[in-house]
Amino acid sequence: MTSSRRLFGLSLLLLVLSVAPAFAEVRETNLWWTPDAATKHAHRIDSLLHLIFYLTAGVFVATQTVFIYFLIKYRRKRGVPAYYSHGNNQLEIIWTTIPALIFLALGIYGNRMWFREVRSPAPADAIQIDIVAYQYGWHVRNPGLDGKLGKFSQQALTKDNFFGLESNDPAGDDDYQSENVLTVPLGKAVHLHLRSMDVIHAFYVPEFRMYQDTVPGRLISWVWFEATRLGNFELACSQLCGAGHYNMKAKVNVVTLEEYNKLVAEKSKAALDSKKTKAASLSAESPTAVASTR
């Protein structure tokens, strides 16, 4: 190998090693398997994953063992002529029917699990959180102390009003917003309302075993989860959505219910206060402007 080629190879290796992992979240648990589950759904989905994995692993070992056994048993031997076998119809039927039944059973089981875990309606007391994905980040809107999100509509969604808020809804006065941070309490159902500003993005948290596309012009309102583990997780967009896709991520913090309630109290008070100051300064400038915003 010439020295220039070696230098090129070395530089390429250095580049890959230094740049490739730069934006990846450090993973601390279960490096050789899926990351530790952190929601109720995730644990049940894992049980299906384990069943399929151990079943296919068992079939793989069994078939490979038989294959290798026959390879050795019927290897070429001096003085032994080759023997032609047409096969055995009865055996063919058996080894076609058994896998077909297994696939059918797995299909039915998986489908039922999908509808029970992923498409079941969210509990009525779930915390409602509104998420709008955009190139390249996540707008998050949380309900304040009243537990209700201010009304919104798809038609009102613009670059400036990215949640599509209707300004006259008092339920929205104590709502608070965060950028690229989703904070949820442990052990309480959280119901997400997912939308997109521009192109298709995907809400994906590996520890939650949750993956849902967000589609422009659509409100996706069937996604919900209940966190079972405290910690900080990464929400990563999983649809190639443009040049900045690699860095479209958000923090998902699972905190205790007390911490969550404290945060909501603080944030919704701040939201109410800022609204009051805004209204006061508006009325000082022009009393008619306030009247028209009501």
Interaction site with Cu ion (CB under 5 A): 201, 237, 241, 248
The angle at the Cα of 61, spanning 59 to 65, to the nearest 5 degrees, equals 115
Residue matched to tokens 């028209």: 292
**Alpha helical stretches, state H, 74-197:** 89-113
Instruction: Report the residue number, 139 or 267, with the smaller CB distance to Cu ion.
Output: 139
**Could you tell me the smallest distance in angstroms from the CB atom of residue 39 to Cu ion?**
22
Instruction: Report the residue number, 184 or 248, with the smaller CB distance to Cu ion.
Output: 248
Instruction: Report the residue number, 157 or 255, with the smaller CB distance to Cu ion.
Output: 157
CB atoms within 10 A of CB 11: 10
**Could you tell me the smallest distance in angstroms from the CB atom of residue 137 to Cu ion?**
9
> What is the chain's length?
294
**Could you tell me the smallest distance in angstroms from the CB atom of residue 182 to Cu ion?**
15
**Could you tell me the smallest distance in angstroms from the CB atom of residue 132 to Cu ion?**
12
Instruction: Report the residue number, 201 or 209, with the smaller CB distance to Cu ion.
Output: 201
Residue matched to tokens 């996706």: 220
C-alpha–C-alpha distance, residues 160 and 87, integer Å? 71
Instruction: Report the residue number, 193 or 201, with the smaller CB distance to Cu ion.
Output: 201
Reference 214, options 233, 185, 192; nearest CA is 192
In sign, the C-alpha dihedral spanning 70, 71, 73, 76 is positive
**Could you tell me the smallest distance in angstroms from the CB atom of residue 135 to Cu ion?**
7
Residue environment code for 226-240, b if the CB has 16+ CB neighbours within 10 A, otherwise e: bbbeeeebbbbbbbe
**Could you tell me the smallest distance in angstroms from the CB atom of residue 251 to Cu ion?**
16
